[in-house]
Chain A
Amino acid sequence: MPITESDIKKIADLAHLEITDEELRTLAPQVASIVAYVEQLKELDTSRVEPATGGLTPEGERTAATREDRARDSLGQALALEQAPDPAHGHFRVPRVLASSEEKENF
């Protein structure tokens, strides 16, 4: 299934990327050609193959990526906020999350 400009718009939306019309015109054929290239994997029968998720351990097992879930020291509030674009009262401040009241009326 070829990738269209409307697919690209949808993907950009999912990825929280704003793209201009010009970027759209360049990206659509590029992403389409890369996707067409990776389609070649379809010619392989992998019905009886387990997925690989990393390398192999010295014992020849798949790399284990999990660890014991235990609390550890963290950076601390001051250090964690030190480089925040907009810190306020020990928190990260962000712009409003919900639409304004006029916009809400339209819903």
Chain B
Amino acid sequence: MTVPGKTIELITSELSSGKTTARAVAVRSLAAAENLNDTLNAFLQIDRAGATRRAEELDREAGTDGAADSIVQGQNAATESLLRAVPIAVKDNICVRGLQATCGSRILAGYHPPYDATVVERLRAAGAVIVGKTNCDEFAMGSSNENSAFGPVRNPWDTERVPGGSSGGSAAAVAARVVPAALGSETGGSVRQPAALCGVVGVKPTYGRVSRYGLVAFGSSLDQVSVFGLTVKDAAVVLQTIAGRDERDATTADVSVPDYAAQLADDIRGARVGVPRELLGEGVDADVRARVEEAIEAYRELGVEIVDVALPHAKYSIAVYYIIATAEASSNLARYDGVRYGYRTEDPEDLRQMYRRTRDEGFGAEVKRRIMLGTYVLSSGYYDAYYLKAQKVRTLIQQDFLDAFDVCDAVLTPTTPTPAFRLGEKTDDPLSMYLSDIYTCMANLAGVPGVSVPCGLSSAGLPVGFQLMGRHWGESTILRLAHAYEQAHPLDARPRVMAEE
């Protein structure tokens, strides 16, 4: 039993055996992206010309024997060549030179960044083929992808349901087997949450592991480029390609990046997984709880010791998150004023009116709501009561994790409290929407890495995921644990909407 679909490993092995060409791989992915877009709305831009050209280049460079060593420029040739000709989708808030970057917002409609994000540069250097830009909640603010100015993305398992958000387009593209991996971004769970709802793997690295240069800023102390994969290995290969110190992002750490993919084979017997029981009570859907309990049992069978841990401040994480993220967003989004790029209102009378109308017409409701909230918590007289207070509680949440890691190697929780909900179900109640991130946003606050792994289906046939959160810089451990589970219990079910094989 394996995860159905073409993984990176399968694509590269078919390439090196001469069974296929880079061009054929790209054409298949592009056709799937185009054919499914009426149904899923996962892509905002599909780069047929650019992707085909790049794939043809790769075929020429490889020559007839398929040897591809000449194209690899990275430090780790052996692993980076694993992305040769691999089609990858990129969330529309990450800059790809030559393609648009709307962030799902009217205010950036038609905007084409004049440079590549560092993560994109690294993907290109490793031979990846970027097939297009994926739909997302406006400025990555949302948990359902319903906040995109260009229409919602639909879940490939049930098109009446949301794919999760904010990186919903990337999640749907991987789930529908359009690409084996995609880039998203996380501020509070925007990759792990849609990964769980779409039945794929999502990895949020340690804060500082991956460069944010070229990722459009939302909450700068939380933002991190993150990865979707069809399998844990797919996500691991992409993560090790994009990770590492970047002079252009001062928060990236100068530490070596492990060969995550090569370390996946290791035995996990004797590892300790901590379960914060207090987070598995009220508010968790019965199917989700059942699947997660089964995953815990599966780890026991794999020789893992299950221990109880407590995260006493986890219950404050949504409150802390919505203060910090909105405060930082209100500052980051001040730059959209109609002066230098993007949308500008028609015939403004003066500068002030231009700012106000441009922003009123350019931003959607959720973005305005968060700018308002962020402006409020940072306004004169409130800074200490809200932003500073939230930063202090953030320290307590971080400390909870450090304490937990004294007794375990990873903390396991559900990724989301429920499987995918219906379109429109939570749009009128922002707070209930925010609570979709209850399990994920604590990792962003603590700065620790997390991975969401599919663990079966609900009674309605919708995917369920659990997540593992690890020590700062401990991606290897959680990826190894995730991979071992996946090997034993791969999600072999197929979504209803899927690319032809």
Interface residues of A (CB under 8 A from B): 3, 7-8, 11-12, 14-19, 23, 26-27, 30-31, 33-35, 37-38, 40-42, 44, 46, 49-58, 60, 63-67, 75, 79-80, 82-86, 92, 94-99
Query: Are B391 and A53 within 8 A (Cβ)?
Result: yes
Query: Are A55 and B206 within 8 A (Cβ)?
Result: yes
Cβ-neighbour of A80 out of B318, B340, B360, B392 (below 8 A): B340
Pairs of residues from A and B, 4 with the lowest C-beta to C-beta distance, nearest first: A55-B447, A55-B207, A51-B391, A85-B344
Query: Are A67 and B250 within 8 A (Cβ)?
Result: yes
Can you add 5 more A-B contacts, CB < 8 Å, to A52-B445, A53-B221?
Answer: A11-B376, A34-B431, A83-B111, A85-B341, A94-B354
Point out the residues of chain B lying under 8 angstroms from A64, CB to CB: 250-251
Identify the closest chain A residue to B334 (Cβ). A16
A77–B389 alpha-carbon span in the complex (Å): 42
- Does more than half of chain A's interface fall in helix, strand or loop, or is it mixed? loop
Cβ-neighbour of B337 out of A16, A42, A44 (below 8 A): A16
Query: Are B339 and A41 within 8 A (Cβ)?
Result: no
Query: Are B350 and A99 within 8 A (Cβ)?
Result: yes
Contact A79 B431, CB 8 Å, known A14-B379, A97-B350: no
Query: Are B398 and A52 within 8 A (Cβ)?
Result: yes
Contact A65 B430, CB 8 Å, known A15-B372, A35-B376, A97-B351: no
A27–B210 alpha-carbon span in the complex (Å): 36
Point out the residues of chain A lying under 8 angstroms from B112, CB to CB: 83
Point out the residues of chain A lying under 8 angstroms from B369, CB to CB: 27, 30-31
A88–B409 alpha-carbon span in the complex (Å): 59
Query: Are B393 and A79 within 8 A (Cβ)?
Result: no
Query: Are A11 and B372 within 8 A (Cβ)?
Result: yes
Identify the closest chain A residue to B361 (Cβ). A18
Distance (whole angstroms) from the CB of B96 to the closest CB of chain A: 15
Identify the closest chain A residue to B372 (Cβ). A11
Contact A50 B392, CB 8 Å, known A31-B376, A95-B348: yes
Point out the residues of chain A lying under 8 angstroms from B446, CB to CB: 55
A40–B389 alpha-carbon span in the complex (Å): 11
Point out the residues of chain A lying under 8 angstroms from B351, CB to CB: 94-97
